[in-house]
């Protein structure tokens, strides 16, 4: 009869937070901060992240909340397989060892893992606190809701409230701290449509904004969803998007432009994620270049090729002048217009 211990199909994996630097934990070194350790087989190591990406109804745990935050910031966790080709017993022992070295208080794991947990091991005080926190965290009563008529509901359990008022739970969660909900789209479900003009806030979360929009009269709007703002103010979404971080919009071909496009004339849009004034965390792993236009407008980008195509600039010229100040060169007849457009620009690596 085949011994079960001969099935070396298990591995130990670690989830790392790309927003925080790691360190050395005894004999284990991680480039970024570890926040979960597990053992599994097959595709088990991907399941936690896949559930969050597919927006399945997952438990409201500390680990899942970190993964949701990463998804909202367009980031992905770094997932490492520490050891492969293990029998289950060895995988459990290594899992327990890594948790011990990192420290349970530094992880989102609820237990110390390993064989002890499976053999009737009694929880430590630290583990009991984590289990208690996890179970109590399933119902969060930190939400404040304001209905379309201005009536306020405080310390609300969102799932229960949505059931009671026939609202779409996922839609409400998506618009936490973003202002009034606007439903756009063909044939939305009734419970989704019921969310229209509601506002949902959470005390322990920062207000989310993606853009600063300045009117021709210099009035500022802090905006989460650009499509909603454009509909409300009869502006052309595509025109605003193309002219973000580019100063006041000037419409040249006014006779060929539609009304929505013409309405954008004189407006200014700033992408908050790329704005130095706002205290928004930037992902250093994504932003690679700082580019300054001849008008001293700053752009923070990660894809130089795409940027050059959008602005009719020459990528090769930009790469030649990395970190060398403003682009100056002797003009030759053979130069194309996209090369000439680069004069006066400056590019720096971040």
Q: Which residue has the tokens 């970024």?
A: 32
Residue environment code for 186-221, b if the CB has 16+ CB neighbours within 10 A, otherwise e: eeeeebbebbeebbbbbeeeeebbebbbeeeeeeeb
Helices (H), the chain: 44-53, 62-72, 88-102, 114-118, 125-136, 158-165, 169-174, 190-193, 226-233, 237-242, 259-263, 304-311, 315-320, 337-340
Q: What's 12's DSSP letter?
A: E
Q: Each residue of 231-270: b (16+ CB within 10 Å) or e?
A: eeeebbeebbeebbbbeebebeeeeebeebbebbeebbbb
The residue among 256, 255, 187, 263 whose CA lies nearest residue 229 is 263
282-350: which CATH topology? Arc Repressor Mutant, subunit A (1.10.10)
User: Along the 350 residues of the chain, how does pLDDT read in single tens digits?
Assistant: 445 445 889 999 999 999 888 888 888 889 899 999 999 999 899 999 998 888 776 776 788 888 988 888 888 999 999 989 999 888 888 998 899 889 888 898 887 776 654 445 565 666 666 656 555 544 556 788 899 998 988 887 888 888 888 998 888 888 888 788 888 776 778 888 889 889 888 766 666 677 888 888 888 888 877 887 888 788 888 888 888 887 888 887 777 778 888 877 888 877 775 444 443 333 433 577 888 888 888 888 888 888 888 888 888 888 888 888 888 887 777 788 888 888 888 887 76
Residue 93 to residue 12: CA distance in whole angstroms: 10
Count the Cβ atoms, other than its own, within 10 Å of residue 73. 15
Tell me the whole-structure pTM to 2 decimals: 0.38
Spatial strand order in the sheet of 220-223: 220-223, 211-214, 268-271
Per domain, the residue ranges of the chain are 4-136, 143-202, 209-281, 282-350
């Amino acid at each position: 009869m085949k011994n079960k211990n001969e099935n070396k199909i298990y591995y130990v994996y670690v989830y790392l937070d790309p927003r925080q630097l790691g360190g050395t934990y005894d004999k284990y070194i991680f480039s970024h901060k570890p926040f979960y350790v597990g053992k599994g087989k097959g595709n088990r190591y991907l399941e936690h992240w896949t559930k969050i990406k597919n927006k399945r109804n997952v438990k409201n745990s500390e680990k899942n909340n970190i993964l949701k935050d990463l998804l909202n910031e367009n980031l992905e966790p770094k997932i490492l397989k520490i050891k492969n080709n293990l029998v289950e017993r060895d995988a459990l022992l290594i899992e327990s060892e890594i948790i011990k070295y990192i420290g349970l208080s530094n992880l989102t794991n609820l237990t110390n893992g390993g064989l002890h947990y499976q053999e009737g091991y009694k929880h430590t005080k630290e583990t009991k606190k984590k289990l208690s926190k996890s179970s109590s965290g399933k119902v969060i009563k930190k939400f404040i809701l304001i209905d379309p008529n201005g009536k306020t509901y405080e310390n609300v359990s969102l799932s229960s409230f949505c059931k009671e008022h026939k609202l779409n739970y996922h839609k409400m969660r998506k618009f936490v701290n973003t202002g009034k909900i606007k439903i756009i789209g063909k044939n939305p479900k009734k419970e989704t449509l019921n969310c229209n003009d509601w506002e949902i806030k959470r005390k322990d979360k920062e207000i989310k904004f993606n853009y600063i929009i300045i009117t021709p009269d210099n009035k500022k709007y802090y905006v989460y969803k650009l499509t909603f703002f454009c509909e409300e103010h009869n502006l052309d979404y595509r025109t605003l998007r193309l002219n973000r971080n580019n100063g006041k919009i000037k419409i040249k071909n006014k006779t060929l432009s539609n009304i929505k496009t013409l309405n954008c004339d004189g407006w200014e849009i700033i992408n908050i994620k790329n704005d130095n004034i706002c205290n928004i965390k930037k992902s250093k792993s994504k932003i690679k270049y700082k580019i300054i236009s001849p008008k001293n407008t700053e752009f923070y980008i990660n894809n130089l090729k795409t940027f050059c195509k959008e602005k009719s600039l020459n990528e090769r010229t930009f790469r030649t002048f990395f970190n060398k100040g403003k682009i100056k060169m002797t003009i030759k007849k053979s130069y194309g217009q996209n090369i000439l457009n680069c004069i006066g620009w400056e590019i720096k690596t971040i």
